[in-house]
A and B are shown apart, each in its own frame.
Chain A
Amino acid sequence: MKLTAHPELLELLAASHALGTLRGGARRRFEALAREQAPVRAAALVWQSRLASMTELQSPIVPDAAVWTRIRNIIDAEKAQHAIERQRDDANARAAAATPQPQGGWLRSLALWRGATAAGALATVLAVVVGLNLRDQLVNAPAVQYVAVLSDDQAAASMLVTFDPKKKQLVLQRVGSYSEGSDKSLQLWALAPGGAPRSLGVLDNAPALRLAASESDVHQVPTLAVTLEAKGGVPPGSGPKGPVVFKGALIEKTI
């Protein structure tokens, strides 16, 4: 069929294509025609442009002032990074001009590598010390049966959760700088396979927190998650309503 002989159909196909609801084989056939026939391509582009204006028509919402601060900080950091690279390039160029023999470059890079190695070694030492401290705490803590380190979407550790079977309580310790704001609450959930998320309690703003729990609450629960909810958490019996902010595997200690 010659699509250009059916202008209304052409327009509807072009509109569906731009809307995104033309899918699969129909989409591929339409796109093939658009590549071959300029009027089809033109109709497709006109509708893409028309529907793109939908992005202009949404009701405004004032963002938090922190958003601009974050944008500016990132741009400042990029500029500083570029300035450092430029200085290093300039210095390299000057040094190369001053010392024609290749040794200078090699020595400099050796010094650089020494610096990098020292920094790496220091980071390793710090990591080991932190790791030992953390492990000591975990090993020496009385009657810890389950442990979970919940991370945020950047994989940064944000909350340490332990379960003490003797006191029948979950102990939660915040380790990141996350703040949910005064009008929100964090809520802890057990995510069991094949079941709905089960609330283990609502967290307050304290850096450390204890929630009453029995072993059946955490037994065979592979994952814990924390969601951001309205102040006070969701109504009892309801599932999570807000986004997941942290999650992590719950591990049963065997030593």
Chain B
Amino acid sequence: MPDNPPMTAPSPDAELMALIDRIGHRDEAALRQLYDRTAPKLMGLAMRVVRQREWAEDVLQEAFLTVWRVAGDYRASLSPPLAWLGLIVRSRALDLLRRRTADRAQLTQEFDELMADTLESDAPNPADTADASEQAWALHQCLSQLESKQREVVSLAYLREMSHGELAEQLKLPLGTVKTWIRRGLEKLRICMGRFA
């Protein structure tokens, strides 16, 4: 899929949407199929937000139970199916982080070290576009054009719902640097995403 232009990329959306519709009608086999298709992807997302395997697995469990309960509402969201699932996982993951704030406060140091590691790994864009919607593919293309540090702070700001100040504190960067990276990153995204509109 990644070697095709987005307009002709084959979309797995129809298949995932059919599964979500069946789950809306209490079809457990469909839930299992959706789990098999998407759990590793969503687990990767949960890990990125909460960073601990046990927590990420709790998030995944909560997310699929949410899907089981609200699948009937999916169509009204007008979202690509994987993005809808992703938003549920992110929401459950942020809930978990809020619940663990007290524990985190005690172990701030450990948290900071992990965050620093995240930035130091000057890795290429690790995105995996399998099963992703056309829109996600466009975002992937545009994120690839950012410098890795810009991409990293933009991603962390979104996925972990962090402010400029929180990013600066936990990444041990000057506030101005974080603001500049995010502003430049968004500016590039704006121009690039405009071409896909």
Q: Which residues of A contact B (CB under 8 A)?
A: 8, 11-12, 15-16, 18-21, 23, 46, 49-64, 66-68, 70-72, 74-75, 153, 191, 196-197, 225, 227-228, 239-244
Tell me the chain B residues, 160-195 only, with Cβ under 8 Å from chain A: 161-164, 182-183, 186-187, 189-190, 193-194
Q: B39 contacts A242, CB within 8 Å? A: no
Chain A residue contacts of B9, Cβ below 8 A: none
If A62-B43, A71-B65 touch, whether A57 touches B186 (CB-CB below 8 Å) is no
Chain A residue contacts of B155, Cβ below 8 A: 54
A136 to B55, CA, bound (A): 37
13 A-B residue pairings within 8 Å (CB atoms): A15-B186, A15-B189, A19-B157, A19-B186, A20-B157, A20-B161, A53-B136, A56-B133, A57-B136, A61-B40, A62-B40, A71-B35, A227-B107
A247 to B131, CA, bound (A): 41
Complex partner residue of A56 from B47, B52, B54, B82, CB under 8 angstroms: B82
Which A-chain residue is minimally distant from B69 (CB atoms)? A78
A8 to B191, CA, bound (A): 9
Q: Closest CB-CB distance, A42 to chain B, in whole Å?
A: 12
Q: B187 contacts A12, CB within 8 Å? A: yes
Q: A59 contacts B158, CB within 8 Å? A: no
Q: Closest CB-CB distance, A47 to chain B, in whole Å?
A: 8
A57 to B45, CA, bound (A): 8
Q: Closest CB-CB distance, B89 to chain A, in whole Å?
A: 7
Asked if B24 CB lies within 8 Å of chain A CBs, one says: no
- Taking residues whose C-beta sits less than 8 angstroms from the other chain, chain B's interface range is 35 or more
A52 to B45, CA, bound (A): 12
Asked if B122 CB lies within 8 Å of chain A CBs, one says: no
Q: B45 contacts A63, CB within 8 Å? A: no
Q: B154 contacts A58, CB within 8 Å? A: no
Q: A68 contacts B132, CB within 8 Å? A: no
Asked if B74 CB lies within 8 Å of chain A CBs, one says: no
If A54-B139, A75-B28 touch, whether A61 touches B44 (CB-CB below 8 Å) is yes
A23 to B166, CA, bound (A): 12
Which B-chain residue is minimally distant from A196 (CB atoms)? B109
Q: B106 contacts A58, CB within 8 Å? A: no
Q: B163 contacts A23, CB within 8 Å? A: yes
Asked if B83 CB lies within 8 Å of chain A CBs, one says: yes
Chain B residue contacts of A20, Cβ below 8 A: 157-158, 161-163
A75 to B68, CA, bound (A): 9
A243 to B99, CA, bound (A): 13
Q: B159 contacts A225, CB within 8 Å? A: no
Q: Closest CB-CB distance, B126 to chain A, in whole Å?
A: 5
Complex partner residue of B39 from A8, A68, A227, CB under 8 angstroms: A68
Which A-chain residue is minimally distant from B165 (CB atoms)? A23
Complex partner residue of B83 from A23, A53, A153, A196, CB under 8 angstroms: A53
Asked if B129 CB lies within 8 Å of chain A CBs, one says: yes
Chain A residue contacts of B163, Cβ below 8 A: 20-21, 23
Q: A53 contacts B54, CB within 8 Å? A: no
Complex partner residue of B54 from A70, A228, A239, CB under 8 angstroms: A228
Chain A residue contacts of B80, Cβ below 8 A: 53, 56
**6 nearest interchain CB pairs?**
A55-B86, A60-B40, A53-B136, A56-B136, A57-B127, A58-B44
Chain B residue contacts of A15, Cβ below 8 A: 186, 189-190
Complex partner residue of A53 from B47, B100, B106, B139, CB under 8 angstroms: B139
A74 to B60, CA, bound (A): 13
Q: A240 contacts B107, CB within 8 Å? A: yes
Q: Closest CB-CB distance, B22 to chain A, in whole Å?
A: 15
Q: A53 contacts B45, CB within 8 Å? A: no
Asked if B145 CB lies within 8 Å of chain A CBs, one says: no
Asked if B21 CB lies within 8 Å of chain A CBs, one says: no
Chain B residue contacts of A196, Cβ below 8 A: 109
If A240-B107, A243-B55 touch, whether A12 touches B87 (CB-CB below 8 Å) is no
